[in-house]
Amino acid sequence: MVDAKKYPAPVTNPETAAFWDAAKQGKFMIKRCTACGEAHYFPRSICPFCYSDKTVWEEASGEGTIYTYSLMRKSPTGPYAIGYVTLKEGPSVQTNFVDCDLDKLKIGQKVKVVFKPTDGAPLPFFTPA
Amino acid sequence: MTIKGKAYIAGIYEHPTRHAPDKSTAQLHAEVAKGAIEDAGISKDDVDGYFCAGDAPGGAWPMVDYLGLNTKKLRHVDSTETGGCSYIIHLGHAAEAIAAGKCSIALITLAGKPRTGVMPPRAAGAEADFESAYGATTHNAYGMCAMRHMHDYGTTSEQLAWIKVAASHHAQYNPHAMLKDVVTVEDVLNSPMISDPLHRMDCCVVSDGGGALIVTTPEIAKSLKKPLVKLIGHGEAMKGPRGGKDLDLTYSAGIWSGPRAFEEAGITPKDIKYASIYDSFTITVLMQLEDLGFCKKGEGGKFVADGNLISGVGKLPFNTDGGGLCSNHPVNRGGMTKIIEAVRQLRGEAHPKVQVRNCDLAIAHGTGGLLGVRHAASTAILERV
């Protein structure tokens, strides 16, 4: 399936620049706190769980399962499926599902990350594994 | 310290318009302010507290000036912005300010023109780069909640449809309602799918309009002519994906705001005679009824089915004006009209066909933002004196 949709380029900022730099290398990064051990997404410098500033970047597997989704049928740019993926590493991330038959998505389905180009850094999406 | 019984709703006004191409947004604010002030039987020069949210053009200070409020007297302002439930939060904040002696007559306004004007864009949060490209809208964000609720609890589209059916039964008696036709479960299921699993009739209307409240001290309320309605409990809360840990979209922040309000009021959901529940979508109502404790989590589908929300028929009459699903949804924000219909019920001013008998305790509850992403919730419990 050809995905001709034009996606906006991330603005980026000092706190998240490393995520987008890694995305350019095809790597999907999460943050992990070395104080409490919890991983989180989207990345913050201060752990949202224990407030430690000892958070580090970690390359995620890019694999997960669909927590939920909704197929948006009324859109000027055509139907799209928004949802959340629960990563193998734990955190759930908001995304769109791409390169697949959107009518066949299922909660619990295994998916993997795929990057789509923008005019800046590429954006992470998910597709059936 | 409590706000229980410290503040009364002395004035209410809902703009009759649903389509206002010939009016400005500020003008609608002024019209609803005037309406609520006249309903209370006070003068605009008596107002010493003003509350508004993101729909007020320019925020509080341009509105205070435009509305011609008495700036020698005005001593308390609050522009807390939490989307559709802002006005329920304002009601609680007004009561806090009144209880603390910071103001004695508070005006709260909401108005806008999503049908015939330009809506101000939502400000971007820290998550923007990680979410905005994915096109979260109200439809699909609530669709995601409904999808997971169905998965976890077996909730069905038929059960959700009953919520719209009940709203339509009430709307037939509201001359201002946008959708006055009574619909069936089949009508809802046969309406076009918008964002799975929500059909068109699972979604609220889009309308111009607005509403306003006057909140005041017990002493001032008793000196006025309207039936007495007091605030006895209030709660507010927020919820978001919180770093993606233990994501659960089957409950809302109402699970925290509700118990806070009930505890302050000293009553339980069983005591409530009438419920105004924000109905941006049918799933919004179902989840909030569970979160507020009207039924157990996961049993909302069974609770709303078979007309249980229809006034005079079911156990919990809800949104007797037809709500957002049928009557109006000014500025895409349902909190204000939820309070107004609850006050009408307590005053005995609802349409006779939907007026709840001996209505002495009512709840007005709403959420703001996107239930499937991040949102606020607020609960108000009101008592007829």
Nearest CB among B136, B148, B198 relative to A67 is that of: B148
User: Token digits for B235?
Assistant: 């709660």
* Alpha-helix residue ranges (DSSP H) falling in chain B: 25-40, 60-66, 86-99, 128-131, 138-153, 157-171, 185-190, 218-223, 254-265, 282-292, 300-304, 323-326, 335-347
Chain B contact present for A41, CB below 8 A: yes
Query: Minimal Cα distance from B141: which residue of A?
Result: A70
Q: Are residues B141 and B252 in contact, defined by beta-carbon separation less than 8 angstroms?
A: no
Give me the tens of pLDDT residue by residue for chain B, a chain 385 residues long: 899 999 999 999 999 999 999 999 999 999 999 999 999 999 999 999 999 999 999 999 999 999 999 999 999 999 999 999 999 999 999 999 999 999 999 999 999 999 999 887 777 899 999 999 999 999 999 999 999 999 999 999 999 999 999 999 999 999 999 999 999 999 999 999 999 999 999 999 999 999 999 999 999 999 999 999 999 999 999 999 999 999 999 999 999 999 999 999 999 999 999 999 999 999 999 999 999 999 999 999 999 999 999 999 999 999 999 999 999 999 999 999 999 999 999 999 999 999 999 999 999 999 999 999 999 999 999 999 9
Task: Report CB contact under 8 Å: A82, B148.
Answer: no
* B chain contacts of residue A58, beta-carbon cutoff 8 Å: none
* Cα–chain center distance at B277: 7
Query: Minimal Cα distance from A76: which residue of B?
Result: B135
Cβ neighbours for B121, distance < 8 A, ≥ 6 positions apart: none
Q: Are residues B188 and B161 in contact, defined by beta-carbon separation less than 8 angstroms?
A: yes
CA gap B350, B361 in Å, rounded: 14
Burial of B123 per CB tally in 10 Å (0-12, 13-18, 19+): exposed
Strand ranges, E, within chain A: 29-33, 39-40, 55-59, 63-72, 80-87, 92-97, 110-116, 123-128
pTM (2 decimals)? 0.97
CA distance A6 to chain B (A): 9
Q: Are residues B90 and B108 in contact, defined by beta-carbon separation less than 8 angstroms?
A: yes
Chain A contact present for B240, CB below 8 A: no
CA distance A44 to chain B (A): 9
Residue B77, SS3? strand
In the block, which residue shows the tokens 């609050």? B78
Chain B contact present for A70, CB below 8 A: yes
Q: Are residues B209 and A62 in contact, defined by beta-carbon separation less than 8 angstroms?
A: no
CA gap B332, B317 in Å, rounded: 23
